[in-house]
Amino acid sequence: MSDQKYIVGVDLGGTSIKVGVVPYDGGRVLGMRSMPTNSDHGAKFVVDRMVEMIRGSMQDAAREENIPDEGFIGIGLGSPGPLDRKTGTVIETPNLGWRNFPLRDLISNSIGLEAELDNDANCATIGEWWMGAGQGVQTLIGVTLGTGIGGGIVLDGRVFHGAADVAGEIGHMTIDSTGRKCKCGNYGCLEAYASGPAIAARAIEGLETGDTSLLPSLVNDDLSRITAETVYEAIVAGDLYAKEVMRETAKFLGAGLANLINILNPGMVVISGGVTRAGEHLFEPLRAQIRRRAFRHAEQSCQIVSTTLEGKAGVIGAAYMFRVERSGND
């Protein structure tokens, strides 16, 4: 029977929920599972699904490593924000439709373990710093490209939360003051240009005005079914229009990241999310845009890389944040 302690990590996103069990000192994630969020079914449905997944993940891990009940010491929760870490409350999340939602206590009371709540992008970023691409990097920015765009900032090995726990909301950086409307209610947010739904929307707009592409054939001519993943599939098939959509995405994302590189001078930016499957079709124009916009010395000292923990960074980081909060080192 193992004497190791374990923490459950939960990564709640607008599209999917991921859960896994992480050894306290790091190592292989156990009992990993993923399910759709289906937030349109309501908050209770989402919480019930999270509870079911946590229990299942713990059972799988316990069988695999012979972990006793007391081996599980807590739950780290990563959620879209903004949020209040002290009260464990999700203040507002446009992609889930929640306001002032007591997520931490609902999960803690249902499972019977202590829990801690942090921003999902913060969790993904510290996960990369702890066990992924960012190991050994002192100043790190993490960017998650999914239903929304999240960001996390690690300074000298610690997540920077800001005065009100909302530091790192990179997706709501204004890049065009009279631009597209964002779900947050503002106009011109980066999220309105470079998130998964924004990529799909831009692709559909062009097709509706007469651009030619393989995309309609991939969705049986139902343009409403086009997603960022569909755009990626078309890129792999050599579709020039899909490649142009990705170049446009890189242009906006590069402008936002160049601002951050000039301000924070990080040693690395780690990008994660389904959009990174586009590979160099995203990263080549993205790096070119950053070279054009950021100060040369800042740009040259910053690596722009893809996650090495795809699908697990948020889970790993959520577990790490629980560890940090409970050890009093944050």
User: Which pLDDT tens digit goes with each residue over 11-22?
Assistant: 999 889 999 999
The answer to whether 153 and 270 are in contact (CB under 8 A) is no
pTM beyond 0.85: yes
User: Which pLDDT tens digit goes with each residue over 276-298?
Assistant: 888 899 999 999 999 999 999 99
Our count of domains for the chain comes to: 2
At residue 227, the pLDDT reads 94
DSSP string, 88-137: TEEEEETTTTEEEE-HHHHHHHHHTS-EEEEEHHHHHHHHHHHHSTTTT-
Asked whether residue 156 falls in the same domain as residue 268, the answer is: yes
Domain that holds residue 301: 135-306
At residue 330, the pLDDT reads 45
Q: Is residue 1 part of a domain?
A: no
Distance, in Å, from the CA atom of 247 to the CA atom of 260, rounded to the nearest integer, reads: 20
Distance, in Å, from the CA atom of 286 to the CA atom of 32, rounded to the nearest integer, reads: 32
Asked whether residue 164 falls in the same domain as residue 272, the answer is: yes
With a cut of 80, say whether residue 1 has pLDDT above it. Answer: no
| pLDDT bracket for residue 328 (50, 70, 90) | low
User: Which pLDDT tens digit goes with each residue over 202-230?
Assistant: 999 999 999 999 999 999 999 999 999 99
Q: What number is the average pLDDT over the span 95-117?
A: 96
With a cut of 50, say whether residue 53 has pLDDT above it. Answer: yes
Asked whether residue 214 falls in the same domain as residue 273, the answer is: yes
**CATH number of the domain enclosing 257:** 3.30.420.40
